[in-house]
Amino acid sequence: MKFDAVGLLIAVLILSAWSVAQDAPADTNPTSSTPQPASSAAPPKLDLTPDADGKLSQEQMQQLFRVVAEKDQQNQKLEREYTYLERDVDHKLDGKGQAKSTEVKTYEVLEIYGEQVQRLIKKDDKPLDAKDAAKEEEKIQKIIDKRKNESDADRKKHEEKQEKEREDDRKFVTEVADAYNFTLVGPEKLDGRDAWVIDAEPRPGFEPHMKDAKFLPKFHGRVWIDQSDLQLAKLDIEAIDTVSVGWVLARIHKGTRVMLEQTRVNDEVWLPEHVTFKLDARVALFKGYLMDGEQTYSDYKKFRTSAKIVGYGEVKEPQTTDPQK
C-alpha cells in the first residue's frame, strides 16, 4: 500500500481496527528466530467448543483473536521472503460520488538489505517511459547506498526502533481485545474453505490506556477466520463516527470503509490478495479526499534460501519458486 497522504490515512484506519489481527506477542522461545509455516505450526491449545446455543464466549473469541494475531505476525516475517506485484487503482470522486479521475499504478515489491521497497513499473497499465524508469532506478539505488554504508550504530538504532514498534503493537493488541464485544455470527464457506464469521462492535465503557487506542470505539467490523489454519481470511471495517488523527489534524469521516481479502500461498503463509476502500477524509481542515479504490496483490514468488538481494543491479535476478495457493 502506498504511503502518500491518502495511503497514510488508510494505513491509520487499518491500524486502528485491524491490530486485533496483527503484531501479537512475539515468540516466547528466545532461541527460535525462524518463523514457522502456517500449515506446519503446532495446533494452538484453544477450547473452541460452542455452548448449547452454538455460540463462543467472549473469552474464547478473545483467545482466538490473539492466536490469529500471533499467526499474522509470522505472516509478516514470511512475507519478506517473497517478491510480488501490487496494482493500485484510485478513483477521485466528486460530491455526488462519481469518479472524476482515475489513476492506476503497478509496483514490484521486493526486499533490499532488509528493507521492503516498492519499484514503480507501470502507469495506467503501461510500462514506464525511459525517464520515469530512470527515476525509479535512482530511487532504488539511493536506498541501496544508504543501507549498504550504514554504520553499526545506525543499524542498531534501526533495530531498536523496530523492536519498540513491535512492543507498542503488542500492547495495542490487548487494548483491541478489550475494546470490542465479539459475536460469532456463524460458519461460512470462503473460497471453498470453512471460516468463522465474527462481528466486532465497540464495548460500552471501554477506557483506553494507549493514546492510539482512543479512537477504537469509532470503528466496527466483521472478520472471517479460516477454521483450519486459524488465519485471517477476510476483514471488513467501517468508521461509525468521525475520527481525528494525529498532529496533522486529519479527519476520517463516518462511512469510510476498508475490506481486505487474504489468500493461502505455498501452503505456508496467508498474504493479502485484494483490498478495496472508500475514503472520506480531510487533512488540516483544508484539503479533502473523497475517493475509492482497490489494491490487488499477485505473482507471489519466494526466494530460494540461497538467494538474497543485496543491491539493485549488483546481482543477477534472484532464483524464485512459483507460488502455490
Identify the pLDDT of residue 35: 42
Separation between Cα atoms, residue 134 and residue 18, nearest integer Å: 37
- All three cell numbers of 1, joined, read 500500500
Beta carbons of 138 and 312 less than 8 angstroms apart: no
At 247, the amino acid letter reads W
The residue ranges of every structural domain in the chain are 5-82+135-287
Give the mean model confidence (pLDDT) for residues 81-103. 88
Amino acid at 44: P
Interval 177-191 mean pLDDT: 86
pLDDT tens track for 258-280: 999 999 999 999 999 999 998 88
5 is written with which cell numbers? Answer: 497522504
Q: What percent of the chain has pLDDT over 90?
A: 31
pLDDT tens for each residue of 94-139: 877 788 899 999 999 988 877 788 999 999 999 999 999 999 999 9
- Could you tell me the sign of the dihedral formed by the alpha carbons of 210, 212, 77, 75, in that order? positive
Q: Is the four-CA dihedral 306, 311, 313, 314 of positive or negative sign?
A: negative
Which has the higher per-residue pLDDT, 301 or 317?
A: 301
CB burial class (10 A; 0-12, 13-18, 19+) of residue 234? buried
Higher pLDDT, 246 or 128: 128
DSSP string, 122-179: EETTEEPPHHHHHHHHHHHHHHHHHHHT--HHHHHHHHHHHHHHHHHHHHHHHHHHHH
- Distance between CA atoms of residues 287 and 46, nearest Å: 48
The predicted structure's pLDDT at residue 21:
32
CA dihedral 156, 158, 159, 165 (to 10 degrees): 140
